[in-house]
Amino acid sequence: MIPVVGIGAGLVAALLFSVVITGSPLAVLLYSAAPLPIFIAALGWNHRAGLVAVGAGAVAVAIALSLPAGIAFAFIIALPAWWIAYLALLARTDAAGTAEWYPLGSLMVWIAATAAMATIASALVMTTDYEAYRSVIARIVENLLSEMVRSKMISLPQGTTQAELAANVTPLLVRAVPLGIGASIVTTITANLWLAAKTVQLSGRLPRPWPFIPSTTLPRQALLLLVAGLATAALDGFVGLAGVALVGALLATFMFTGLAMLHDLSRGQAWRTPMLVSVYVALVLMQAVLTPLLALAGVIDSLLGLRKRAALPPPPST
């Protein structure tokens, strides 16, 4: 049964991954769901089904597209999904025989680390020459800027030509691309993990009891990782790229825990619903403003233990 489930999940994941070559908005959305079948296989059966899905999907993509595409599928999509699902179902039994499941905060740190590694893998699949990588990304950024100016999405500052704008802005944007990729991979992994876990729970196959997600907070080690990422980001080459990717991934993770803190602290309050609705609407309309604020809230919560100081009531039973 496990090989059949794994092969089926891998083929579905490979199909979702491969449709991105069409370039349509729907294809991009389907590509974002590529980890979902692997998550479902690994959570609903076990991690061995997830590994079978990794292998089957990578072989399918390599045959249908190319060997580099198969490698990209394995390291950017499939293996991260398998590893996070494996950690999510880790448990140890204490002296009383009670199962202690892998903490959500530690799982989120691993999601950030996995997203950073996937970002590096995506760059290395493109080329192992860092200068060639920079040139490719710079051309993409320049073309995007040109299109935005042409469509009047942005306007040129007075007295500035398009070439001057590109020369000034492109190096900064090229440096920031891994930050955005790392953050987006964290979002993709987290969303697919939640959806897969909820689907498997509804089917009755999820071994782990459903956790109280608003109580999630990152351990303080995540702050050390953030400092290490910031220090490494100042370096050149793929090492610096790795640092930037780790910073982006961790900031996205802190953003999620900042959002969880709002859910947790507002339990039982009359203003909870309007506050949360306002936050989510603002997150859509003013993402560039609210995301850093939520990440800062997550950092402060991890550093100072705000929720422990608040003496919150115990989480509701599930």
Residue 150 pLDDT class (50, 70, 90 cuts): confident
Q: Is the dihedral of CA 100, 103, 106, 107 positive or negative?
A: positive
192/9 Cα distance (integer angstroms): 14
CB atoms within 10 A of CB 208: 16
**Which pLDDT score is estimated for 8?**
94
Q: Among 21-30, 51-60, 146-155, which range has the highest average pLDDT?
A: 51-60
Q: Is the pLDDT of residue 167 over 80?
A: no
**Which pLDDT score is estimated for 153?**
65
Taking the whole predicted model, whether its pTM rises above 0.95 is answered as: no
69/83 Cα distance (integer angstroms): 20
Q: What is the pLDDT of residues 113-130, one digit of tens each?
A: 999 999 999 999 888 999
For 123, 178, 192, the CA distances from 85, given in Å and listed in that order, are: 24, 24, 11
Q: What is the pLDDT of residues 71-83, one digit of tens each?
A: 999 999 999 999 9
Q: Is the pLDDT of residue 171 over 80?
A: yes
51/26 Cα distance (integer angstroms): 27
Which run of H or of E encompasses 65? none
92, β-bridge pairs: 100
Residue 80 contacts residue 36 (beta carbons within 8 Å): no
156/109 Cα distance (integer angstroms): 40
